[in-house]
Structure 1
Amino acid sequence: MKFLDQAKIYVKAGDGGNGCVSFRREKFIEYGGPDGGDGGRGGDVIIECAEGLNTLIDYRYQQHFKAKNGQGGMGRQRAGAKGADVVIKVPAGTQILDEDGEMLLADFTAPGQREVFLRGGNGGFGNLHFTTSTNRAPRHANPGLPGLEKTIILRLKLIADAGLVGLPNAGKSTFLATVTAAKPKIADYPFTTLHPGLGVVRIDAREFVLADIPGLIEGAHDGVGLGDRFLGHVERCRVLLHLVDATGEHAGKDYKIVRAELEAYGGGLIEKPEIVALSKCEIADPEHLKKQKQRLKRACGQTPMILSSAARQGVDDVLRALMVVIERARAEETPAPTREAAVESDETSEWRP
């Protein structure tokens, strides 16, 4: 399945049905009177966050979604049927933006989340509705109201606990393949990762979701390389794992290049907790590795961890460090029970001698 994280679609709610002008005409009934029914309401546009979806590829082949129109009213006081709704299913982490991509209209973060995005038009009143004590035979009815329509942008931002960042060929995909069941493309040339990837990490009977994005190079915020569009997939992460190639020329400069791109992108990435690690240490010369560690420490202000995904050296230490930050963030996000809730819990609990 191809990965698609952005799509532009046109959505339209159904039009309301027209009201009916009708009169009761039956044998032996001299004054039948009006009996035109109301029109049915147009269908709504509903957006639903569904499980099992991880891409917006379906919206590459279909970009127009229209709900059904309401049925018109009929004689004998029969109201028109409501138009069928159209349901647009999106994966968790999808944001709904306006046509310009500037205003956030909705954000779907959990499966099962459902929202009526556009309301269908109301049906028109039939002539029966306008009957009064002075107007016993109205000969007019209302037309149905048109349904709302809008062009929107769907943008998917993967929901993960930790995100991998770094220059191309820094060992991010190898690390993801080592610690998860994901199978990203791995090769000895840059930009082997063209699309973001997800994997579930299990460490010490606990687990978290890890996201890998294509590598960043200097000038990515100006569109150089693959650009910085994929950084949106780590905006929701609680912590970033910054991998720096130990076999590179200068680890400190490599680190600052990526940090500059994160700052240029914005989105609060520069303020996120960060764990820095030197990767590919198994093939680096010991003396060069020592220099790289000192350079990286001066650049990032913390002692970098030493990592070898291929030899699985230091991998568990890095995962445990990530888990500590993730659990701390989860604890801060979980609201503490209030005093009233605690009292209610004590009152409803079963008494035991």
Structure 2
Amino acid sequence: MIGQIHWKTPGVIITGVFLIMLVKNSYDTPNQDAGLSLRQIYSQSSDSWPAPWVDSGVNWQELADIPVQPSADAGLIALGEQLFFDPLLSESGQIACASCHEPELAFTDARKVSFGHDRQAGRRNAPSILLSGHFQAQFWDGRAASLEAQVLMPVQDPVEMAFTLPALQQRLQTHATYPAVFAQVSGETTISLEVVSQALSAYIRSLRWRSTAFDRFMQGDSQALDNVAIQGLHLFRTKARCMNCHHGALMSDQQYHNLGLTYYGRRYEDLGRYHVTGQVADVGAFRTPTLRGVSQTGPWMHNGLFPSLEGILQMYNAGMPRPQPATSQQQDPLFPETSHLLQPLGLSEIELQALKHFLDQL
């Protein structure tokens, strides 16, 4: 264990080894002494934290506070908010963006998969949009290159809002009040889809992240996390190997990985990123979600099949599924391969509890 800890700041190796040895035998019980020893490490600037346990070639970034995005024009944001909650954006006039992204549910819908037009069930879980403006590509498979491109795609999806963009433009143009609102924002008498996209994106970017215990900890309040959460933070960065994919301010590498949940050739099959790129390496790969607010955004994973974080942590602890091809699939070039970044972790039940407690502070 000590051999895998490497400090980023010279001159503290002896202290670091001493502290890690002090808590090495304390992981079996999330006690105050173990947390206190780790607190001495993590109360320092993050520049002085031990480097995480990540695989060679992983371009990780240290955990950080969420940056504040520049604010857009207030009128554009207000228009975007009005559109976001307006079911007129759907063909039936019954489904709004907020139908799948409810503010009271951390802008999710708390369903495995969302219901859309004519109560059709989608095949993917609706993630929170609270930090969407910080991500590059959008959707679980990254098929939208920007938030502006993403916001109009559900409008056109036959399973979701089942509308067409020309019909939406016509409906807004003949609406009793929208033309005047758009004219005030854009200065144009004709409503453009570009302004619709800009307004929705501006509203989503304006959604401010609430302050959590972890935020306060990262902002310098060393007492914001209790000792068990500190143990969970240390496990997150080391033995649990979470930083291979969940790092930086977003706790996401914004990359695509196969977690062994493709259900290839079975019910729930979803080839993920492959449908976007056509690359065999992307079969079953999905974007790493942010872990910010993760305890509030269940059910989890791209298909919403996991109702508890405890169950997910147990699966990660086991190294996640590694499906093997049946005889008929031996020569199938698309048979998915679970990411090499996933390995059995050997975490004890007490360590898993500490890790879960840390996630609850995000």
- TM-score, L = length of structure 2: 0.21
User: Whose helix proportion is higher, 1 or 2?
Assistant: 2
Q: Which has the higher contact order (CA 8 A, sep 6+)?
A: 2
Of the two, which has the highest radius of gyration?
1
- TM-score, L = length of structure 1: 0.21
